[in-house]
Each structure stands twice: as structure tokens, then as C-alpha cells.
Amino acid sequence: MLFTATAMAGYTSVWAHAGLQSSTPAKDAEVAAAPKEITLQFNEKLEAAFSSAKLVDSTGKEVTTEKATLDAGNPSVMKLAVPVLHPGKYKVEYVGVGHDGHRRKGDYSFTVK
């Protein structure tokens, strides 16, 4: 039984997928000043060719014009440049693909006062 538990512990990382751990601005945040960049921190390194993020306004219109990039020093961090934002609610939509090839899609909103 000890062997089985030890063997299964070694497979834990095989079954893990890239998941969002934190973001700036944070989920449901109300920020006084519009961010110039969105930062998404994942729990593992991402594959740049298959990972992406975009920002949409309350009507669903995409407001970002540049592609998201991975931090050169830490490929588990995705960054998205943000144009000038007006007050309102915005939604970050992202896809994170880890080394195992599994896609994790998600989104969250924040508000600029």
C-alpha cells in the first residue's frame, strides 16, 4: 500500500493543468486608475504559442490590440498591454496551455471607477 501511495504521489503533477492563481487587477476589483497592463499568474509554465488573453468591454467588444506575452524570466506569468480605459466594467478572457497540452479557459471581471 505504501508503494501505491508513493507511486500515485509521483503522478500528481502529470494530472495538473495550467490554472490561474492570481491576477492584477484582481477578480471583481474596483480600481481608481485604469491599469496599463494585466498580469495573469498561472501555477505552471505556459506554452506561448497556444496561450492567450484579451480584454473586452461591457458590450463584449475587444479593447486590446496587442497579443498577450509571457514574462521572459517567468513563463508562468502572462502579460497583456492595455490601452487607455474609460470608467466601466471590463472582462479578461484567457486561455492557458501548460506543458501537458491541456487548455484551461477562463475569465473574470474588474471595474474602472
Number of structural domains in the chain: 1
- Structural domain includes residue 35: yes
* pTM score: 0.84
Reading the block at residue 37, the C-alpha cell is: 497592463
- Structural domain includes residue 99: yes
Q: Using one digit for the tens of pLDDT, what is the confidence trace for 55-101?
A: 999 999 999 999 999 999 999 999 999 999 999 999 999 999 998 89
- Structural domain includes residue 38: yes
- Model confidence at 16, in pLDDT bands (50, 70, 90)? low
12 phi and psi angles, rounded to 5 deg: -55, -45
Q: Using one digit for the tens of pLDDT, what is the confidence trace for 22-68?
A: 999 999 999 999 999 999 999 999 999 999 999 999 999 999 999 99
- Structural domain includes residue 26: yes
- Structural domain includes residue 25: yes
Range of the domain at 37: 17-112
- Structural domain includes residue 2: no
- Structural domain includes residue 40: yes
Closest CA to 49 of 2, 85, 10, 96: 96
Q: Which residues, in sequence order, are CB contacts of 34 under 8 Å at separation 6+?
A: 82, 84, 85, 86, 112
The CATH code of the domain that includes 79 is 2.60.40.1220
